[in-house]
Amino acid sequence: MSRWIRLGIRLSLGSGRAGALRTVLMSSGAALGVLIVLSCLSAVSVATAQQQRAQARTPQYAEEGVPASAPLRIIEIDDAIGDRPLRRTAVAGVVPGGPRPPGVAALPQPGEAVVSPALADLIRTDTRARERFPQRVVGTIGDIGLIAPDELWAYVGVRANDPHLRQQHAVLGFGAPLRAGFGSQLASPDVFTPARITAVAFALFALVPLGVFLATCARLSASTRDRKIAALRLLGVSARQAALVNAVETGVVAIGGALLGVAAYAALAPLSPGWRIGRLHWFAADLTVPAAWLAAVLLTTVGYAVTVGVLATRSARVAPLAVRRGAPARRPGWWRTLPLLGGLVAAALAGIDPLRLDTTDRGYLLVTGLLVSGLGVPLALPALSYALAGLIRRVGRAPVWLELAAARIRHTPAVAPRLVASLAVSLYVVGVGSVGVAAMANDTALMQSSGDQRLVYQTSGYDRGLTAELRRVPGIEALGVAVLEVTIAGEPAYALVAECAEVNRMFVVTPAKSCVDGGAYRLAHDLIGQPNAPAADAPAVGADGLDVPVLSRTLRVEERHGAGTAAFGSLLLTRGSPLLGGRNPEVDLMTVVAQNPVAAERAARLVAARTPANLLSGHYAARQGFDSDLLLTILTAGLTVSFILCVGAFAVAAVDRTMERRRDSASLSVVGVSPRLVTASEVGFGGLPLAIGLVTAGLSAVVITASLARLLGVDAGVVLNRFASTLWLGAGALVVGLALIAVPAGVTQRITAEQLRRQ
């Protein structure tokens, strides 16, 4: 066996200039594939490290009461400076020896702040940050307490009797489990979660193109290699021995390229902490790939290349005489279309949901269909191209160059699809990725938005001085109501107390029954999970002797700004109503409406500086959680990887095909075929599979995205309208692909004496 191994090594290292070119191309492909896979795996390690640090600083709250030994109270507030998320953590009741989060030497006292290094730099250079933190900065947070080096995080000390912290549970320590979710519902820091999604996105975007790329590299100079294997078989070498030679030849080149990819990763990883993906950043220590994962990547890459190479040369081992004589290849079986059809059926089932699966299982089914369909597109191309070529031959009066191209496709049905598979897969990935991520990001072009585009916030408490300052900010409305606890028919409820002018600014009131100051009304609204107007015979009883009799008048209200204020009340008592008995309740619920982002930014500065424990909640458009900007950044990065792999595969296949076709073109030139006709047949030979591949990929992407729209509850018609850009991209890919086929075919028409001698 050793001599066959030595023969395989010699064939891989000493096959002339053409063999050297093939070795360089294949090893480069393996190196690029390993580098990309290790980068994806390192993203997983970064996400894991970030999640561990995020959990280590998450407060552990007491269940009930306030133990004397644990006076510490904390409230975490989300904010943003520009497009950078900011977490402000207000702390009160700090005592010596009390619990403190990792990376913090001592928690701040009232009027003090401990900030991250990135926030400290921003406070010195940016007015928006400086006005938010007028406190004295007494320390910085260490790396162990931060998710990423550019994270904006602050601990701000407030008074122990701060009303915003009065209802908070005591903090016993740090290291509680994380609570994660989507968008504004994200209860934990949102920096690490997109990193996990980034790892998944890279895996999805890289897996299918990488498989096509490595398969293309493993089948370089396929005709030449088949002739070598056939020659060995005709010399008396057994099929098993020929397979061993081929496996060693492919394996040596793949191993060399894989080790080169590992070396490239080892050289680039220490430099990467200075890079970023959108707003995602990481520490150098987070970039680790376990030895077991590294070994698995090497073995999988080499094993995949060897497997593809061995399976592809089966015909040369089984029928060597037919290969040496240039006999027609076997007709591709229709089984090749089964993975594509199976993947599309799985995706369709995830969208239609006839099995009544839960959302998680439907998501897994859709991802499985996505991957299987992507791998099935290049696998089905030979069968589809063979069928199209047969249809052309049955059509009368086809041009000579087209008939010649169709005859060559039927003679070697696997050659041209191998050349164009990368562009077809690229279109598939781009179509699914662009529409799918846009839908997940709640893109305004895909989702119906309300007519009122003003920014709405609510404060967690009322501060008279803060309200007065907010009302002096141009473009800001500060709308306040008082909320009274009442009991209606034995059930707890709330009554709102406000002037009618406030009510009309906060709600859309039914015109037929407008609000009149001094009146009292039942409120009717259609908020999910909230009761409608109380029954007509249901009196209300409140604290402090408040007695509200049966109210005959009803106001139907709708949210004007989307603030959800209507959810807090079943009754409305206007100020001056006799039912209040002369009471004038203080405002305790403040809604802030900003006309534009500039005004909202000014309001956020005021709230943070004057009442740092005040929770200004609402739609910040602050680039938090799974916002469209972050997801489109991840999409761009993933599609860049896919583009590099697919274009690399096409370029490698085009160069290799040009080298191989020079010998066949020489035969046509000898019998008098014009160079123009030869070039046209080359374009048809590659263009027909390219066209059918792009059409197949486009239709497959339509099925996947339609199922994704159903899964996410988005109008499928609106999603498919976004697919028009992908269709234009497919048309551009067709034109570019034809040009890349035609130019080398036309340039290499010059026939040399050496090529004629080899005929």
* pLDDT tens digits, 181-212: 433 333 344 443 445 555 556 655 666 677 77
pLDDT tier, 139 (very low <50, low <70, confident <90, very high otherwise): very high
DSSP string, 357-380: --HHHHHHHHHHHHHHHHHHHHHH
CB 340 within 8 A of CB 373: yes
Query: Which residue from 481, 528, 525 is spatially nearest to 503, judged by alpha carbons?
Result: 481
What does the block give as tokens for 72?
Answer: 């510490």
Q: Specify the pLDDT at position 688.
A: 84
What does the block give as tokens for 627?
Answer: 């916002």
SS3 per residue for 288-345: CCCHHHHHHHHHHHHHHHHHHHHHHCHHHHHCHHHHHCCCCCCCCCHHHHHHHHHHHH
Q: Specify the pLDDT at position 658.
A: 63
What value does the mean pLDDT take over residues 667-692? 76
Pairing type for strands 554-559 and 547-548 reads: unpaired
More confident residue, 528 or 492: 492
Chain mean position to CA 751: 50
Strand ranges for 168-314 from DSSP E: 171-174
Name residues whose C-beta falls within 8 Å of residue 645's C-beta, 6 or more positions apart in sequence: 32, 33, 36, 206, 209, 210, 212, 213, 422
Furthest C-alpha separation in the chain:
113
Distance CA 117, CA 400 (A): 71
Residue 590's DSSP bridge partners are 480
Q: How far is CA 473 from CA 467, 469, 479, 616, in A?
A: 10, 7, 14, 16
Task: Answer yes or no: is pLDDT of 274 > 90.
Answer: no
Residues 618-675: tens digit of each pLDDT: 654 444 444 445 555 666 666 667 766 776 677 667 666 666 666 666 666 666 667 7
CB 345 within 8 A of CB 703: no
Q: Specify the pLDDT at position 526.
A: 64
| DSSP state letter for 502 | H
Residues 457-473: tens digit of each pLDDT: 777 777 778 888 888 88
Distance CA 589, CA 666 (A): 86
Pairing type for strands 59-61 and 491-498 reads: unpaired
Task: State what percent of residues in the chain have pLDDT above 90.
Answer: 11
- Name the least confident of 111-125, 223-237, 398-412, 593-607: 223-237
Q: Specify the pLDDT at position 687.
A: 80
Task: State what percent of residues in the chain have pLDDT above 70.
Answer: 70
DSSP string, 652-714: HHHHHHHHHHHHHHHHHHHTT--HHHHHHHHHHHHHHHHHHHHHHHHHHHHHHHHHHHHHHT-
DSSP reduced 3-state for 170: strand
- State the amino acid at position 526 in one-letter form: D
Name residues whose C-beta falls within 8 Å of residue 474's C-beta, 6 or more positions apart in sequence: 599
Distance CA 188, CA 392 (A): 60
DSSP reduced 3-state for 539: coil
Distance CA 53, CA 582 (A): 55
Q: Specify the pLDDT at position 135.
A: 95
> How wide is the angle at C-alpha 494 spanned by C-alphas 493 and 498, nearest 5°?
160
pLDDT tier, 438 (very low <50, low <70, confident <90, very high otherwise): low
Q: How far is CA 272 from CA 20, 281, 345, 701, in A?
A: 33, 9, 41, 34
Distance CA 435, CA 704 (A): 10
Residues 247-270: tens digit of each pLDDT: 787 888 888 889 999 999 988 888
What does the block give as tokens for 418?
Answer: 């191998």
What are the percentages of helix, strand and coil residues in the chain, rounded to 5? 55, 15, 30
Q: Specify the pLDDT at position 123.
A: 95
CB 443 within 8 A of CB 146: no
What value does the mean pLDDT take over residues 357-364? 78
Name residues whose C-beta falls within 8 Å of residue 340's C-beta, 6 or more positions apart in sequence: 372, 373, 376, 377, 379, 380, 696, 700
What value does the mean pLDDT take over residues 339-354? 87
pLDDT tier, 445 (very low <50, low <70, confident <90, very high otherwise): very low
What value does the mean pLDDT take over residues 680-689? 81
What value does the mean pLDDT take over residues 588-601? 81
Average pLDDT, the chain: 76
Pairing type for strands 507-509 and 554-559 reads: antiparallel
Query: Which residue from 707, 628, 185 is spatially nearest to 444, judged by alpha carbons?
Result: 628
Q: Specify the pLDDT at position 304.
A: 84
Q: Specify the pLDDT at position 623.
A: 40
Residues 701-723: tens digit of each pLDDT: 888 888 877 776 666 666 666 66
Task: Answer yes or no: is pLDDT of 617 > 60.
Answer: yes
DSSP reduced 3-state for 542: strand
Q: Specify the pLDDT at position 565.
A: 54
Name residues whose C-beta falls within 8 Å of residue 91's C-beta, 6 or more positions apart in sequence: 72, 73, 74, 107, 108, 155, 156, 157, 158
More confident residue, 124 or 395: 124
- Owner of token pair 């191993």: 255
What value does the mean pLDDT take over residues 544-558? 77
Query: Which residue from 681, 206, 687 is spatially nearest to 420, judged by alpha carbons?
Result: 687
Q: Specify the pLDDT at position 527.
A: 55
